[in-house]
Amino acid sequence: MGSLEAVFSRKRLDIDTLEELEEALILADLGARTADKVLREVNARVKDKTIEAGDGLRDGVIDILRGIMAGAMPSAAETIGQPQPWVLMMVGVNGVGKTTTLGKLAHHFHQQGGKSLLVAADTFRAAAIEQAAIWGERAGVDVIKGQPGGDAAAVAFDAVQAASARHMDRVLIDTAGRLHTKAPLMEELKKMQRVLGRALPDAPHDIWLVLDATTGQNGIAQVRQFHESLGLTGLVLTKLDGTSKGGIVINVAQEFQLPIRYIGVGEGVDDLRPFDVAEFTAALFDKA
């Protein structure tokens, strides 16, 4: 974001400054297409004299990006947790924060009331099952565990049936993470998706992809792959407490029209926030 600060400190909005702005936006992971859109709008506003150099330019860019994000994202929130039981599959490549985010979500839902079930369907690693169980305990929700090496789809199926029988409200399914380029993972997730529909019509109701904010442009490839295979319904952006401001999701939102549901801002149980376009775009251009 340093190069953006340099642009915002220019006294004049000449061609050089605008070119620097475009480059800086691309460097901030917003993508060439978004940068181009912003530039065209900034140009129009410069002509109208409705934008000025310095903080005027910063506020103008924030305003333009808000418009772009709002247009790209179907309105969120109301359907989260509906119907009963609501079944969520959390997917993503390894290490992005799927299990942690589910643990935080379980806690969040537990505080809201109603009964949630955390499903440790990452049978790929024994440690992953334990990790999910620990989060379940921390959140105060029930956990259904798979067997290491077992059939992840079968675990998810049983869990949804049990949740239906026990009139539970939410089923939160943790899945294994591997490289998105590895076919077996996609096949395994597609199978889980199919099998869930047999346990409960319309399940899974949501499939959210977890993206690590520090990923950069590779995030686009991850979204494309998972979206093509599974038909995602939302995104979660994690690790926003680190150095990255997550400019990548502006690019992603434009390209795929997917809503960002939550953001992760730390490793603790309370470090989950609903996504807020206004807050996010302002933070993106915060003075360092």
Enumerate binding residues for ligand GTP (CB under 6 A).
92, 94-100, 122, 128, 177, 238-239, 241-242, 264-267, 271
Binding of residue 101 to Mg ion (CB under 5 A): no
Site for Mg ion in 109-128 (CB under 5 A): 128
Nearest residue (CB) to Mg ion, 35 versus 128: 128
**Minimum distance of ligand GTP from residue 117's CB (angstroms):** 18
**Minimum distance of Mg ion from residue 122's CB (angstroms):** 5
Give the distance, in angstroms, between the CA of residue 84 and the centroid of all CA atoms in the same chain: 23
Grouping H, G, I as helix, E, B as strand and the rest as coil, residue 149 is coil
Nearest residue (CB) to ligand GTP, 30 versus 96: 96
Total residues at the site for Mg ion (CB under 5 A)?
Answer: 3
Nearest residue (CB) to ligand GTP, 8 versus 226: 226
Q: Measured at CB, which residue is nearest to ligand GTP?
A: 177
Prior bond to 74 cis, omega within 30? Answer: no
Residue 94 CB contacts under 8 Å (≥ 6 apart), including other chains:
176, 177, 178, 179
Nearest residue (CB) to ligand GTP, 109 versus 124: 124
97 binds, among ligand GTP, Mg ion, none (CB under 5 to 8 A by kind): ligand GTP
Which of 17, 99, 193, 225: binder of Mg ion (CB under 5 A)?
99
Nearest residue (CB) to ligand GTP, 134 versus 278: 134
Alpha helices in the chain (DSSP H): 2-8, 15-27, 32-48, 55-72, 98-112, 126-139, 152-165, 183-199, 218-230, 248-256, 277-284
**Minimum distance of ligand GTP from residue 6's CB (angstroms):** 28
Give the distance, in angstroms, between the CA of residue 29 and the centroid of all CA atoms in the same chain: 15
DSSP state letters, 15-80 = HHHHHHHHHHHHHTT--HHHHHHHHHHHHHHHHHT---STHHHHHHHHHHHHHHHHHHS---STTT
- Site residues for Mg ion per CB under 5 A: 98-99, 128
